[in-house]
Structure 1
Amino acid sequence: MDAMIILQMILAGIGGAVLYTLIGIAPGTDETAVLAPVTIALALSGVSPYVILAFFISAIVAKKLTDSIPVAVAGIPGGVMAAPMVEHAMVLKKHGLPDVSIKKMASGSVIGTLVSIPASFLIANAILPYADVISKHAGLIFFLGAVFLALMTNNKILSLLIIVPFAILIQGLRHLYWGLEIVPPETTVFVSFFLGITIGPIVVTLFDLLNKDARKKIPFLGKKEISVKKSDKVKGIPNPFNILTKKESATSALGSLIGSVTFFLSPVGMTVFLGEFLTRHIKDPVKRASRAISTMDGLTNASYISGTLIPLIAIGLPLSPMAIGPAAGLFNAPPVFTPEHNIHHILSMSEIMLATIIGAVIALLITFYITIKFASEICAFVFKYIPHEALIGLFAGLVVMLAFMDAGWINIFGTFLIAFVSGILFRNGVNYGVMFMILYAAPWMLGWF
């Protein structure tokens, strides 16, 4: 690896940290919707795998560091993974401590990063001898994963019943494209279908707005006033271990380690379960909330990093909710990355480690410092000047472009069909994980017929 590649990784880490510091603060930005399209676009544009990985790790660390800021100041999660922390953050806000809430969550996130990276490499090493066996049965594993995640959803019956029909929809569109000779038979349309699932809820909401009767039922709230309390200035370089108490640091580290080990489970489910389990014995509401948010933020960061790194290092297949969602572009972005040829096959373990460390360190140095020093000011700026709709529109436009690149004009309509069906299913209790697993398992499943 030459000095130019290292310089590019450093620049990519800086770019990822700055960009996703702002995106993380924007309310309601789903991790998959804002990370997956950019990662896939970088892969398809021919960017070096070293640079893509450094960018992605920096982006996810920065996103997880900052998506707790709108939770603390306004009770609005900056991402799906920040939602479980709203209740505890509101306890601290009620006691006039939103600045403490921000610092606790950001510090927990730093501990999650520091714990999960070495833990991920150790766990991946332990799994490595079984990688070939796992790879040979990938289709079956994805199918079982879909069944397992379906049993964990709110609407278990619908999630189970939809597995085969949704697989038929996906494979049916692929066979249509092959039959019309839009794409060669050896080409499998994947990227646009994956992104169609991610924008499903947005597409369904847009169609609702086109329906006059449905539009009349939507409450119009007008302008929403959000008050942002200015936090006390922190002098010098902030230290997360000084911000957290010893017990908070310990539970954050423990939660992060457990989150790394359970990388294959739902990050949201583990965050809620462990956050409550490790803090329910604390009677004082402020102490309990402080311990809960620092633990939860550490666990979410750890589960995201480990859920990316462990499958990437050991197997090369996206066998975790994180890998099959936001990090999917690292595993499968045809024709550049495929399940048989992706970052797992291109980079050695030491190269993956170097790119990971560069991305994580840069994000921690930039984003943690900015979060602790200027959290309230940045949050006020984003709430005032960066519309949520603009970000969603940007990523939806990127999906349309990638759909056209995948299989031409007809695939834009095919992708919207996938998005519409996915959005309806998501609205009725079928989560992203089930649909992503079906997307991967579809060829294997319908091969039985």
Structure 2
Amino acid sequence: MDIALIIQMIIAAVAGTFIYTIIGIAPGTDETAVLAPVTLVLVLTGLEPIVILTFFIAAIIAKKLTDSIPVAVAGIPGGVMAAPMVEHALVLKKHGKSDLSIRKMASGSVIGTIVAVPLSLLLANALIPFSDVIQTYTNQILFGGAIILALMSRNRWIALASIVPFAILIQGLRYLYWGVGVVPEGTNVFISFFLGITIGPVILTLFELLNKDKRKAMNRYGTKTITLNKDNRYKGIPNPFKILTKQELSISTLSSFFGSILFILSPVGITILLGELVSSRVKDPVKKSSLAISSMDALTNASYIAGTLIPLIALGIPLSPVAIGPANALFNAPPVFTLEHNMHHILSNADFVWAVAIGAIVAIVITYFIIVKYAQQICTFVFKWVPHEAMLGLFFGLVLLLAYMDGGLVNIGGVLLIGLVAGFMHRLGINYGVQFMVLYAAPWIVTQLASLS
């Protein structure tokens, strides 16, 4: 491995760690919305794939380490994956244990990373012999994945019914672009549609704000008061093996194992199910909540790492909610990456090991130390000086720019249409996984419908 390349990887890991340490603490930042656009931009700039992968691994670990902080101090999830921990974090906060909550969750994340990285590499290599068969039936698998995820959705029948209409909308816009000459015929407009789905709820909310009656009917809560406990700075060098009890350590390890092998399922669903299962027999509220949040955080980190690495190394196609969401640009970012030519085809096993090792070590060493030592001070700074709206505005502007680059002014209208429909679907309880799977399978679905006509 070239020394200059290793230095670039370390710089990328440090940058990803610091950026997503701050973003993770900001309340309400969806993992897909904040990771996918930035990763996509890095891919399109032509950086070395191994450097991009190092950045992504560091970013996802830092994000998962920090998005539990606002849960602990204010009962507000930093991201979608932190939402299942709110109830248990509030119990600890009620007992004056917010500082303990932060340390338990951060330590659980570290355990999840330590377990998931080697396990993901092993599972990925075990799947490689079957990659040709899986790739032959990619479209059918993606369509089947959309059906499975729809059945796992909160409103499964609406999710199932939406698959075909949403596919027709996506492919219909592509045919429209071909017909008017916006893009050459056969070009698969993908990136901007993907980002339109990603920020669909934001686009829908922005359009609703243009409705005067809707604005007047909105609830006005005024200023939210957030009370932080006195500084409870951790003394000594943070060590997850000392912060977690033996029971918490063993359960977090077990949860990480299941999170890794069940990478193809929804991380949120697995987190809720296993988190409640492992803590159900504990009666003491503080011990129960500590066990639940540490194991949940371990599981979420493990599922994100495994959901990225296993499909990327073994298959080269996104076959997990994480791969098809936040990590999508690592698989498909035309013209740089396609399903036939991406990191799976470019990087060797040694490259994957180097990228994951550097990204994970840098993120854990920097972010874990900062969180355990200075979590409340950082949280206070972010709550006061980093507006959530500014971050959403930045990503919204980035999506519009990429939409214009993908298909001109016409495509900005198309992306807004995709976003409105996707935002409405999300509000109905149709999760991102279903929508992204349909985006991939849309050409095949429409072709099959046409053949039946």
Alignment of 1:48-447 (within 5 A): 48-447=48-447
Aligned mates of 1:180, 1:230 — CA distance in 2: 63
Aligned mates of 1:105, 1:400 — CA distance in 2: 36
Aligned mates of 1:177, 1:340 — CA distance in 2: 24
Aligned mates of 1:117, 1:156 — CA distance in 2: 33
Aligned mates of 2:60, 2:185 — CA distance in 1: 35
Q: CA deviation at 1:285?
A: 0.6
Aligned mates of 2:37, 2:305 — CA distance in 1: 18
Give the equivalent residue in structure 1 for 2:43. Answer: 43
Q: CA deviation at 1:116?
A: 0.1
Aligned mates of 1:370, 1:115 — CA distance in 2: 22
Q: CA deviation at 1:311?
A: 0.1
SS in 2 for 1:321: coil
Q: Give, as a single letter, the amino acid of the residue that structure 2 aligns with 1:3.
A: I
SS in 2 for 1:326: coil
Aligned mates of 2:229, 2:65 — CA distance in 1: 19
Q: Give, as a single letter, the amino acid of the residue that structure 2 aligns with 1:19.
A: I
Give the equivalent residue in structure 2 for 1:10. Answer: 10
Contact 1:84–1:271 (8 Å) recurs in 2: yes
Q: CA deviation at 1:429?
A: 1.2
Aligned mates of 2:404, 2:26 — CA distance in 1: 28
Q: Give, as a single letter, the amino acid of the residue that structure 2 aligns with 1:403.
A: A
Q: CA deviation at 1:89?
A: 0.3
Q: Give, as a single letter, the amino acid of the residue that structure 2 aligns with 1:157.
A: W
Aligned mates of 2:122, 2:319 — CA distance in 1: 17
Contact 1:71–1:82 (8 Å) recurs in 2: yes
Could you list the per-position Cα deviations for residues 109-156 of structure 1 after superposition, in whole angstroms to 9, with x for gaps in the alignment? 000000000010111111111000000100000000000011111111
Aligned mates of 1:405, 1:43 — CA distance in 2: 15
Q: CA deviation at 1:423?
A: 0.4
Q: Give, as a single letter, the amino acid of the residue that structure 1 aligns with 2:141.
A: I
Q: Give, as a single letter, the amino acid of the residue that structure 1 aligns with 2:439.
A: L
Could you list the per-position Cα deviations for residues 60-91 of structure 1 after superposition, in whole angstroms to 9, with x for gaps in the alignment? 00000000000000000000000000000000
Q: Percent identity?
A: 63
Q: CA deviation at 1:233?
A: 2.1
Could you list the per-position Cα deviations for residues 168-198 of structure 1 after superposition, in whole angstroms to 9, with x for gaps in the alignment? 1100111111111211224211010000001
Aligned residues: 449
Could you list the per-position Cα deviations for residues 23-42 of structure 1 after superposition, in whole angstroms to 9, with x for gaps in the alignment? 00000000000000000010
Q: CA deviation at 1:234?
A: 2.1
Q: Give, as a single letter, the amino acid of the residue that structure 2 aligns with 1:218.
A: M
Contact 1:154–1:430 (8 Å) recurs in 2: yes
Aligned mates of 2:233, 2:411 — CA distance in 1: 52
Q: Give, as a single letter, the amino acid of the residue that structure 1 aligns with 2:346.
A: I
In structure 1, stretches of 5+ residues that fail to align are: none
Q: Give, as a single letter, the amino acid of the residue that structure 2 aligns with 1:379.
A: C
Aligned mates of 1:345, 1:371 — CA distance in 2: 37
Aligned mates of 2:122, 2:194 — CA distance in 1: 30
SS in 2 for 1:394: helix
Q: Give, as a single letter, the amino acid of the residue that structure 2 aligns with 1:266.
A: S
SS in 1 for 2:27: coil
Q: CA deviation at 1:2?
A: 1.3
Could you list the per-position Cα deviations for residues 243-289 of structure 1 after superposition, in whole angstroms to 9, with x for gaps in the alignment? 00011010001000000000000000000000011110001111000
Aligned mates of 1:184, 1:42 — CA distance in 2: 25
Could you list the per-position Cα deviations for residues 187-221 of structure 1 after superposition, in whole angstroms to 9, with x for gaps in the alignment? 21101000000111011111111111111111111
Could you list the per-position Cα deviations for residues 277-327 of structure 1 after superposition, in whole angstroms to 9, with x for gaps in the alignment? 111000111100000000000000000000000000000000000000000
Aligned mates of 1:393, 1:300 — CA distance in 2: 27
Give the equivalent residue in structure 2 for 1:27. Answer: 27
Contact 1:146–1:433 (8 Å) recurs in 2: yes
Aligned mates of 1:334, 1:187 — CA distance in 2: 10
Aligned mates of 1:269, 1:184 — CA distance in 2: 41
Contact 1:230–1:377 (8 Å) recurs in 2: no
Q: Give, as a single letter, the amino acid of the residue that structure 1 aligns with 2:144.
A: L
Q: What is the TM-score normalised by the length of structure 1?
A: 0.99
SS in 2 for 1:442: helix
SS in 2 for 1:263: coil
Contact 1:315–1:344 (8 Å) recurs in 2: yes
